[in-house]
Each structure stands twice: as structure tokens, then as C-alpha cells.
Amino acid sequence: MGITFEMIDDILIAVLSGELDHHSSLEIREEIDHTFDAFQANNLILSFEKVTFMDSAGVGVIMGRYNKVRSKNGKLVLSGCSEYIDRILDMAGIYTIAKGYPSTKEAIKALRREKGE
């Protein structure tokens, strides 16, 4: 599993790629938390566009990051979830704690809109 980061204003965008399972989730969560703190971000976008496989470990990663972001009074949003990932997230009720958008662009827009209000 790979991860790249981008920072826009106070939004950290974590672009995940490859297979997200229990094994890869251990490294990925550390890396996201470390980067989130290092860049003093408030909001987080997790991009799933390039994720080719995900099981319930991905749900755990989202739940953990939600708590992290909430401690900074920020928002967590998800982008680019395939129909298959969507099914797992829906099953776990993830959309009650983090909204999903088709693309990262739309996720950024939504976060900015909320900040403006």
C-alpha cells in the first residue's frame, strides 16, 4: 500500500493506493497521524480513488482518524470510494461520521463551503 500527501490551506489530503488490509493499515495510520500533526492540519480528506482492495481494516482506519481529526475540531471527509468500498463503509455506518464525495476536488469544495458558513 502506498500513500502520498498534499496540503491545501488547513486540509491534509491523504491519497491511498493499493490494498488496504489489517497489515497495511498498521503503517498507514501512523503515517497519516504523523503527517497530520507535522503539518498542523485541521481537516483531513482520505482519497480512496486508487485503492484496489479494502476489508474492514479500512473501516478501523477511518474510525481512528475520525477521532484524531475531531480532537482538533476538524472534519474528516472521504473521496473516490468505489461501489465495492461504499458497500463496506455503508454496512459499518461510516457515512454517519464522515461524508463521501465522488472526487477529491468536490471534497475540498465541500470543506471550504462549510468553513465559509
Q: Are 14 and 48 contacting, i.e. CB atoms less than 8 angstroms apart?
A: no
Q: Is 97 in the site for other proteins (CB under 8 A)?
A: no
User: Of residues 6, 22, 31, 37, which one binds other proteins by CB under 8 A?
Assistant: 22
Q: Is 21 in the site for other proteins (CB under 8 A)?
A: yes
Q: Please, what is the minimum distance in Å from the beta carbon of residue 70 to other proteins?
A: 11
User: Of residues 4, 6, 9, 91, which one binds other proteins by CB under 8 A?
Assistant: 91
- Strands 99-101 and 76-79, bridge-based pairing: parallel
Where are any strands of DSSP class E within 1-117? 2-8, 11-20, 43-54, 76-79, 99-101
Q: Are 50 and 20 contacting, i.e. CB atoms less than 8 angstroms apart?
A: no
User: Of residues 10, 35, 49, 63, which one binds other proteins by CB under 8 A?
Assistant: 63
Q: CA–CA separation, 114 vs 75, rounded Å?
A: 10
**Strands, sheet with 2-8, edge to edge from the N-terminal-most edge strand:** 2-8, 11-20, 43-54, 76-79, 99-101
Cβ proximity to other proteins: between 22 and 105 the closer is: 22
Which one of the spans 8-16, 38-46, 48-56, 96-104 is the region binding other proteins (CB under 8 A)? 48-56
Provide the binding-site residues for other proteins, judged by CB under 8 A.
19, 21-23, 26, 29, 53-57, 59-61, 63-64, 67, 84, 87-88, 91-92
